[in-house]
Structure formats: structure tokens, C-alpha cells
Amino acid sequence: MEYNTTRNYLIMKEYGRNIQKMVEFLVTIEDDEERQRNAMAVIELMGTLNPHLRNVEDFRHKLWDHIFNISGFALKVESPYPIPTIEKLRAKPDRLPYPKKYPRNRHFGKNLEMIIDKAVHEDNPEKKEGFTQCIGNYMKLAYTNWHKESVHDDAIKAELLSITDNQLEYHPGHTSHVASPVSFGPSGNVGGEQFRPKRKFQPNNKFKSNSGGGGGKSRDSNNSNKHNNKYNKNRNK
């Protein structure tokens, strides 16, 4: 018997051992026309065994690349697509430069630093004020998330002045009318949707307690009084 340990390495396992044997046989064919004809038949068989490749764009190009890869790039046939090479397959990609940015205030992150720089260089005073209020509100939120406690507005104001070299001043409780990524409307609404407080529950005067707290009498108490008056009349007789 022939065991897998005695066989050569299976290059593309999704096609199986039989496809690899067929491709190895194609390399040994000396006649060019016969080799080309058999290579086309193997391509059709590879597409039949892997129908999911038909959903891939230009799947035949992928099949031709795979048959050359299985043959170890030793197959000499005419391909309708550019023939790949082993150098191109094993070529290492170019090294990507990693963005090395070290924010000055790491506890706030680089995104807040970018917004602060945008607010500092903003010429429109209304937009600049809106940026400042959003930055201050975000700083309060970040402080609350990390410390699990509230922070005074004066501390946020002093921190923002220190970070921006007295260029941005946070005004606690001030609402800006400038549209921002998180817009606060005139009624304290977020994102343009007004917040409506829930109505307080008011009990209906028709349904009052029998305990006497409401000042009214129930039907049962009236019936009881009528029964007692009738009993007293009969007794007096």
C-alpha cells in the first residue's frame, strides 16, 4: 500500500491528491498539443471540483494560476493570462510605515488633540466656541469614565486652558448654537431630537381608596349604612 508519508508534499490541499497527480503527469507529456489539450481538461475539472470559485471575479484566471502553482511553475503551456512566476509568488510585500504619533496628553488620546488643533486654528468665532464646548464636555465624560466620579467644571476649564496655552476657554453651562458632531439643542436635546419629560401620574378622582384617605364614600359603605338604618327601625318597633 502507498501511504501519505511516502508521497510528495500536497501543494494545494483544496484540489486533492488526484489533481496534483494529473498536473504532474502533464509536465511529463512531450507533445505540446497533447499537453495543451490535457491542461484545458484539467482546468475544467478543477472548476467542477471547486464550484465556489465561480463566484469569484475572473475565476478562470485564478484556476490557471493554481495549475501553474501545483506544477511548481514547470508546466509549459499557453495560458490566456500572464503566467505567474515563483519570484512573484514568494515576493515579500513592501514594509508599511507605521504611523508613529505620540500625543502630548495620552490620557485624552490623539483624536481629542486633533480636534483641539482644529479648534485653535478655526477663524469663525461661533464654530470655535462650539468646538470648545464639545471638547470640554468630552473631557468631563472621559474623566467620569476613568475615575467613576464627577469632576468640577472649573477643573476642566483650567485643564483646557493649560493644554491650549490659554487659547480655548470652556464656559460651563453655556450652550452653543453651532452644529457639531454631538449637537446640543436649546432644550438639552442630543442630535436634534428634543427631550420631553414624562408626565407625572395623577390618580383619577373617580377611584378612591376605601380607607377614607380621599374623603369620599364607596358604594359598599353606603349599602352598609342603609342596612344599619333599616335594622334600627325594625328594632325600635
Domain coordinates in residue numbering, the chain: 9-89, 94-194
Collapsed DSSP state (helix, strand, coil) of residue 74: coil
Average pLDDT over residues 119-140: 87
Which grid coordinates are listed for 74?
514547470
Measured in degrees and rounded to the nearest 5, phi and psi for residue 86 equal -70, -30
pLDDT band, residue 194 (cuts 50/70/90):
very low
Measured in degrees and rounded to the nearest 5, phi and psi for residue 174 equal -85, 130
Average pLDDT over residues 61-86: 91
The answer on pLDDT for 196 being more than 50 is: no
Q: Residue 77: its pLDDT value, please?
A: 93
Buried b (16+ CB within 10 A) or exposed e, 209-224: eeeeeeeeeeeeeeee
- Least trusted range by pLDDT, from 38-52, 115-129, 148-162, 203-217: 203-217
Q: Residue 228: its pLDDT value, please?
A: 59
Q: Residue 38: its pLDDT value, please?
A: 95
The answer on pLDDT for 224 being more than 70 is: no
Bridge partners, 184 (sequence order): 190
pLDDT in tens, 10-51: 999 889 999 999 999 999 999 999 999 999 999 999 988 888
Nearest C-alpha neighbor of 28 from the set 86, 85, 94, 72: 72
Q: Residue 63: its pLDDT value, please?
A: 92
Q: Residue 113: its pLDDT value, please?
A: 82
